Structure 1
Amino acid sequence: MSSVQAPFATIQDAIEDIRQGRMVVVVDDENRENEGDLTIAAQFVTPETINFMAKE
C-alpha cells in the first residue's frame, strides 16, 4: 500500500505561519459548510490584507 500525503498543512505549520504574519485558510469539515476562512494575526492586519480578504 502506498503512502498518501495529506493536502493540508499541520496545525503546527499553520500556527508558525500565523506567527510569521502569513495568512492561512482554516477549513471546516466537509460535512458542514465545507468552506474556508482566511485568517491572519491581528497585529499583521493592514488595509491591503483587509482588501485582499474582501476581494478573494
Structure 2
Amino acid sequence: QLHSINEVLQDLKAGKPVIIVDDESRENEGDLIIAAEFATQENINFMVKYARGIVCTPMRREALEKLGIQA
C-alpha cells in the first residue's frame, strides 16, 4: 500500500522506518529510511541484514571535519 508524503513524514517524525520506492522504469528498488535521531543499533543492524545495501547518512561539513573525513 502506498502512502501520501504527509503520512510518510508523520511516520518519520514518530521514529518509524519507511520504505521509499522509485519507478519500475528506473531502478525499481526501495530504500529503507529512518530519521537519524531515531537510529539505534537494532534498526541499523536490521537495515544491514535485510535491506542488504549501503547505510548512508547526510552530514554537515563541520561534523565531517571533526571526524577527519574529507568532503
Instruction: Give TM class, smaller chain.
Output: 0.7 to 0.9
User: Could you tell me how far apart the structure 2 residues matched to 1:48 and 1:39 are?
Assistant: 14
Identity %: 52
Q: Which has the higher contact order (CA 8 A, sep 6+)?
A: 1
- Select which of 19, 25, 38 maps to 1:25: 19
TM-score, structure 2 as length reference: 0.68
User: Which ranges in structure 2 are unaligned for 5 or more consecutive residues?
Assistant: 51-71
**1:38 paired residue number:** 32
The runs of at least 4 consecutive aligned structure 1 residues that moved more than 6 Å come to none
User: Which ranges in structure 1 are unaligned for 5 or more consecutive residues?
Assistant: 1-6
RMSD between aligned alpha carbons? 0.6
**2:65 paired residue number:** none
Matched, 1:50 2:70: no
Deviation at 1:55, TM superposition (A): 1.0
